[in-house]
Amino acid sequence: MLVTEIIEQIKDNRKILSRLLTAIESESPRSEEVLRELYNHCGNAYRIGITGPPGAGKSTITNQITKHFRKEGKKVAIIAVDPTSPFTGGALLGDRVRMSEIGMDEGVFIRSMATRGSLGGLAGKARDLADVFDAAGFDIILFETVGVGQSELDIVEAADTVMVVLVPESGDAIQAMKAGLMEIADFFVLNKSDRPGSEQAVTAIKTILYMRDHDENSWLPDILKTVASENKGITEVIAEIGKHKSYLEQKGKLLNKRSERFRLRIKEIVEEKLIRELWHLYPTEQIGESETGGEGKKVSPYIYAERIIQSYKNKTLQGEGNGQST
Ligand SMILES: Nc1nc2c(ncn2[C@@H]2O[C@H](COP(=O)(O)OP(=O)(O)O)[C@@H](O)[C@H]2O)c(=O)[nH]1
Ligand SMILES: [Mg+2]
């Protein structure tokens, strides 16, 4: 199938869409060709990141938010990077049933990503998948990730609006601060606020939030209470997303954010490609720690690294001299 045909077909053929996502995830050689062409069709979708500790209710919120956007007639794509997510089969049966409500909907596409065995960065790949959904005509792209590691944070950072989901259990706010979640949140959701201690938790988080430097022009992250399992507070969450979106648009920040994301992606791709090429040219498997320099001295990894970079540079220069592209 021609690249232009694929791009045309992913708009209403779920099978082809699904196949393309798999091709990208498994880094099939042709997928880059499609990604190159596809970018021209991107830029319409609004990207929302949902992160927080395992069990906080991220999937439940994702489910509720999705239903809400569907009522507005918007198409929703969900990219779930969570080994414990119902989307990947890690949760209770009750969750799966609830998920199937949106799972059966033609206007919803749920894609879970494998967290291991990824050569290129996980975050980069999640962004590529999001671009595919964007080009396929999805209006909303939700990233659900567990807020634990750097790569998960990288994923949500690629979103236009990021919400961090916490629960009343004591110490959650402190944990979130430690994990770097405070910095990336555009707003907080205190889910399970049907549980005791929710008022104290809100106060604790507000205290931390309002301590930060801000002026009348800056966005101050707020905290909203929800009981996602009962669909309580979800309308307010949707409203907050809208509010943040308008803020970004009015201040020209959405464009800035997206440009920054664009530059970052270029850097990532260059890094990925260079590293791949380098290790292809200089397989390091043969190098052993016992290697000795001249007088029986051990060779430092720094010396090796410099040698590899130097010979790569030389090779590139030679290539230019011969008028070759590689
Ligand atoms: N009591 C209570 N339970 C909830 C609420 N929201 C979700 N849950 C339950 O908490 C569990 C974990 O939810 P899930 O959405 O899978 O969390 P995730 O790991 O963050 O995606 C599930 O059993 C949900 O039914 C809530 O607001 N109150
Ligand atoms: Mg989940």
Supply the DSSP string of 141-157, one letter for each residue. Answer: EEEEEETTSHHHHHHHH
Classify residue 295: in a domain, yes or no.
Answer: yes
| Domain count of the fold of the chain | 3
| Protein residues near ligand 2, an ion, with CB under 5 A | 58-59, 82, 85
Q: Is residue 268 over pLDDT 80?
A: yes
50 with 37, same domain? no
182 with 239, same domain? yes
Q: What is the pLDDT of residues 23-71, one digit of tens each?
A: 998 888 889 999 999 999 999 999 999 998 888 999 999 999 999 999 9
Q: Which residue has the higher pLDDT, 259 or 278?
A: 259
- Which two tokens mark 246? 């308008």
Classify residue 14: in a domain, yes or no.
Answer: yes
Calpha distance 265→74 (Å, rounded)? 27
Q: Is the CB of 55 under 6 A from ligand 1?
A: yes
Domain finish residue from 256, 274, 292? 256
48 with 139, same domain? yes
198 with 292, same domain? no
Classify residue 263: in a domain, yes or no.
Answer: no
Q: What is the pLDDT of residues 108-160, one digit of tens each?
A: 999 888 765 455 577 888 999 999 999 999 999 999 988 766 767 788 878 99
Q: Is residue 303 over pLDDT 90?
A: no
pLDDT of residue 283: 74
Calpha distance 175→24 (Å, rounded)? 34
Q: Rounded to the nearest whole angstrom, what is the distance from the C-alpha of residue 85 to the centroid of ligand 2?
A: 4
Q: Is the CB of 189 under 6 A from ligand 1?
A: no
Domain finish residue from 9, 25, 41? 41
Q: Rounded to the nearest whole angstrom, what is the distance from the C-alpha of residue 75 to the centroid of ligand 1?
A: 24
What domain range includes position 118? 43-256
Q: What is the pLDDT of residues 165-210, one digit of tens each?
A: 999 986 767 777 766 777 889 999 999 999 998 999 899 888 888 8
pLDDT of residue 326: 46
225 with 207, same domain? yes
pTM of the predicted protein model: 0.87
Q: What is the pLDDT of residues 279-301, one digit of tens each?
A: 888 777 777 766 666 677 788 88
Classify residue 275: in a domain, yes or no.
Answer: no
**Which residue, by CA, sits nearest to atom 14 of ligand 1?**
57
204 with 97, same domain? yes
Of ligand 1's listed atoms, the one at least distance from the Cα of 193 is 27
Q: Rounded to the nearest whole angstrom, what is the distance from the C-alpha of residue 6 to the centroid of ligand 1?
A: 38
pLDDT of residue 289: 65
Return the best residue to mutate from 65, 84, 229, 237 for the ligand 1 pocket (most ligand atoms within 8 A of CB): 229
143 with 236, same domain? yes
Classify residue 84: in a domain, yes or no.
Answer: yes
313 with 243, same domain? no
143 with 174, same domain? yes
128 with 192, same domain? yes
182 with 300, same domain? no
pLDDT of residue 94: 42
Instruction: Identify which ligand lies nearest to the alpha carbon of 51.
Output: 1
Calpha distance 291→300 (Å, rounded)? 9
